Amino acid sequence: MLRVSAFRLLGRRGASRVSLSEDFSLRHYSSGPLSVRDDTRDSRAYFTTPIFYVNAAPHIGHLYSALLADALCRHHRLRVPSDAATGFSTGTDEHGLKIQQAAAAAGLAPSELCDRVSAQFQQLFREADISSTDFIRTTEARHRVAVQHFWGMLKARGLLYKGIYEGWYCASDECFLPEAKVTRQPGPSGDLCPVSLESGHPVSWTKEENYIFRLSQFREPLQQWLRGDPEAITPEPFHHTVLQWLEEELPDLSVSRRSSHLHWGIPVPGDDSQTIYVWLDALVNYLTVIGYPNAEFKSWWPNTSHIIGKDILKFHAIYWPALLLGAGMSPPHRIYVHSHWTVCGQKMSKSLGNVVDPRTCLDRYTVDGFRYFLLRQGVPSWDCDYYDEKVVKLLDSELADALGGLLNRCTANRINPSGIYPAFCTTCFPSEPGLVGPSGRAQAEDYALVSAVATLPKQVADHYDNFQIYKALEAVSSCVRQTNGFVQRHAPWKLNWESPVDAPWLGTVLHVALECLRVFGTLLQPVTPSLADRLLSRLGVSSTERSLGELHFLSRFYGHPSPFEGRRLGPETGVLFPRLDQSRSWLVKAHKT
Ligand code: MSP
């Protein structure tokens, strides 16, 4: 059989590349919306997770995508504490060949499979404390309206034409592949089968007449967008990758399938013989959620941050912005990209039987514990490996011993019998080391601690802006260690409340340590919301005092009054985070085998 390369498109006009038509002017895209910063940008923010395929149950990689978005969004709320200003969507991607085939293989109607698996995602996200404001399913009526309207916009702007698509299609990845991205591997019967080079999933040859989107016309506008906004795709290496992709020619994109082949999807308006390509359908979810096509969506778009895995970068950083530009809209404000979790060094897959069930992990390690682990260990720029011992070691050392131990040391009845946020003594700990008088006992390391914790919120915010949440947590953890060092150094358990010499210094040591804990609790809210809530409640911090704007670390040291001094601590609620290593029978079993 004669094989031609993928994307060989024979448009009705007889050309695979189409010159600019009169109704389509690039000038419109490269000057207008691209260069204009939306007025609402600063007041509203919209975060999204990818929408998840429903062909199989959720795993820890899916939860990780959702947690990154949740932490970013929660951190934004700490900066701008008004629910109305922040939107956060997640959901399930329910159409397409992949789902149609999975349902057939399971002997279910596609809608039955979708209901079942979508419910699993919803339950997981509820249990994991994902604070989304909307959960979209692409099978909902509101979404069909949005997708068909979006299609109409592309059509009206002359960006769709009918042509023959001939090339490879990978149903598992729902994407077209050029010959260079296909290799041959022995299949179950030993014969060589064509598979995607990147994912290893089987591909099949397709030739049919479809609607084609003039993607090729958007290469320059996309380059302009990315060159003009170097942080559009974060972290930087992914931005660079996309610019490199754009060095190559951009072929037009087939955006529909014959309905006889793919019936599980949204029909092309006015042509029931064709079903809209699932990626176009899926990407529009981001607009559906904010009310598109009703004008209200304009107050959210484009102040949007998409959180995605690296495997779906091309769809979000090339297809989606091009489609948006085509429909007369701006590209999203930010695309934050993360890498993948492997398990014991291998890719997670059903066939290898190594898929880690996130609900078991939430049970074993607690919701806060597992959230902390994934976000503390997950590094966006490279893949991370999962194994149980690593979770136990991290949580025991950072949450149970360091943070929990610190809280306990500073609030326990034997050390602080009055249960009061003690007073800070400015002569014991003057604002400058040179001023330390006879009653002062502060040392150089103590000043270093105060300075480290004072700059921590800004450092953490910068790490969030750069999508380096693990670095934010590393910085918090390092300050927790420093604070423990401070307490250890001054051993408040050796000081005596009854002694007029000791008492002011004892109060000061505890005051400083509690202030540090208040900062840690505030900054940990996006990652460990319930643990942070317990910590802050124990310190007596009310719900209106937990935003970044209200933080004001160690005011007394800086010469201002402190609202906390003399305040009663919250009630004792037990251990902040119990150690895992002794208490987990499943781990003992795992060690023995
Ligand atoms: N349905 C598409 C997304 C459409 S968005 C308009 C899809 N779904 S997915 O279920 O396959 O993946 C959803 C997210 O989970 C992606 O961000 C993907 O990168 C992420 N992960 C899937 N496996 C993963 C790991 N092993 N590790 C980390 N994240 C992973 O793609």
- β-bridge pairing 10-11 and 160-170: antiparallel
62 CA: nearest ligand 1 atom = 15
For ligand 1, atom 24: residue with the closest CA: 61
Rounded-to-integer distance, Cα 180 and Cα 249, Å = 14
Place of tokens 């484009």: 302
Place of tokens 């895209």: 29
Q: Which residues pair with 87 in a beta bridge?
A: 46
Distance 225 CA to ligand 1 centre (A): 25
Q: Binning pLDDT at 50, 70 and 90, where does residue 345 land?
A: confident
Our answer on whether the CB atom of 62 is closer than 6 Å to any ligand 1 atom is yes
Please work out, in degrees rounded to the nearest 5, the angle formed at the alpha carbon of residue 223 by the alpha carbons of 221 and 225. Answer: 70
Give the pLDDT of residue 585: 57
Place of tokens 């910085």: 475
Testing ligand 1's pocket by substitution, the residue of 47, 93, 137 carrying the most ligand atoms inside 8 A of its CB is 93
Question: pLDDT > 90: what percent of the chain?
Answer: 80
Q: Which residues contact 229 (CB under 8 A, 6 or more apart)?
A: none
For ligand 1, atom 30: residue with the closest CA: 61
Distance 245 CA to ligand 1 centre (A): 21
For 139-149, b/e burial (b = at least 16 CB within 10 A) is beeebbebbbb
Our answer on whether the CB atom of 117 is closer than 6 Å to any ligand 1 atom is no
Q: Contact at 8 Å (CB) between 95 and 140?
A: no
For ligand 1, atom 5: residue with the closest CA: 50
For ligand 1, atom 13: residue with the closest CA: 52
In this predicted model, what pLDDT tens digit does every residue of 276-327 receive, in sequence order?
999 999 999 999 999 999 999 999 999 999 999 999 999 999 999 999 999 9
Q: Contact at 8 Å (CB) between 54 and 92?
A: yes
Q: Contact at 8 Å (CB) between 274 and 281?
A: no
Q: Contact at 8 Å (CB) between 488 and 405?
A: no
Q: Which residues pair with 88 in a beta bridge?
A: 47
In this predicted model, what pLDDT tens digit does every residue of 154-182 receive, in sequence order?
999 999 999 998 889 998 898 888 888 99
Q: Contact at 8 Å (CB) between 262 and 365?
A: no
Give the pLDDT of residue 44: 87
Rounded to two decimals, the pTM is 0.91
Give the pLDDT of residue 349: 79
Our answer on whether the CB atom of 95 is closer than 6 Å to any ligand 1 atom is no
Q: Binning pLDDT at 50, 70 and 90, where does residue 434 land?
A: confident
Q: For residues 560-572, give the mean pLDDT.
A: 96
Our answer on whether the CB atom of 311 is closer than 6 Å to any ligand 1 atom is yes
In this predicted model, what pLDDT tens digit does every residue of 456-491 receive, in sequence order?
999 999 999 999 999 999 999 999 999 999 999 999
What distances in angstroms separate CA 255 from CA 13, 74, 216, 470, one per listed residue? 18, 35, 13, 38
Give the pLDDT of residue 540: 97
Neighbour-count burial of 294, counting CB atoms closer than 10 A to its CB (0-12 exposed, 13-18 middle, 19+ buried): exposed
- Helix runs in 491-569, H state only: 502-524, 529-539
For ligand 1, atom 8: residue with the closest CA: 52
50 CA: nearest ligand 1 atom = 5
